Structure formats: structure tokens, C-alpha cells
């Protein structure tokens, strides 16, 4: 499955399903966090696979789920 297909599938999940999906990868988000993160899915770019995730995008996530949680997941999944 490619990244764009994955994003489309996540967009179609209910909040509860998205929460369970994230938890299956040991990413623990509240329904409120998921609802706030959803609009950011439209900003994700394949280009980031080569350039890395922009700091401005990381800041948006950090504002929603908190700095510590953001850094934990970025480090855990080697995204930064």
C-alpha cells in the first residue's frame, strides 16, 4: 500500500476506528486529537520522503498532541 492510499483509508475511518488503528501501532491519541489532526492529512506530501517533514508541520502536530508526545513518535518511528 502506498502512502496516498493509506492516507485515503485513514480519512475514511471513523474517529473510533482511527483511534484503534493508531493504537495498533502503539500511537495513543484521544478522539479529540484525532479530530484536530484529520485536516492535516491533506497537507502530507510524498516529497517529504526525500526532504523530511517540515518543521512547520511538526509544530502543527505538536500544538495538537503536545511537544513530548510528538517528539516521542517522531523518534520512535524514525521520522526525524
Structural domain that includes position 40: 3-76
Count of the separate structural domains present in the chain: 1
pLDDT of residue 25: 87
List, as own/partner pairs, every contact residues 61-67 make where C-beta atoms lie below 8 angstroms and the sequence separation is at least 24, other chains included: 61/37, 64/33, 64/36, 64/37, 65/29, 65/33, 65/37
pLDDT of residue 38: 95
pLDDT of residue 1: 55
pLDDT tens per residue, the chain (80 residues)? Answer: 566 788 888 999 999 999 999 999 899 999 999 999 999 999 999 898 899 999 999 999 999 999 999 999 999 888 76
- Residue closest to 37 by CA, chosen among 5, 1, 3, 10: 10
Cα–Cα dist 30/24, whole Å: 14
pLDDT of residue 5: 83
Amino acid at each position: 500500500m502506498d502512502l496516498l492510499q493509506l492516507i485515503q483509508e485513514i480519512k475514511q475511518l471513523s474517529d473510533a476506528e482511527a483511534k484503534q488503528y493508531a493504537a495498533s501501532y502503539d500511537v495513543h491519541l484521544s478522539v479529540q486529537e484525532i479530530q484536530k489532526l484529520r485536516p492535516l492529512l491533506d497537507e502530507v506530501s510524498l516529497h517529504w520522503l526525500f526532504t523530511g517533514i517540515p518543521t512547520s508541520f511538526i509544530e502543527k502536530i505538536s500544538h495538537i498532541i503536545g511537544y513530548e508526545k510528538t517528539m516521542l513518535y517522531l523518534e520512535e518511528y524514525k521520522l526525524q
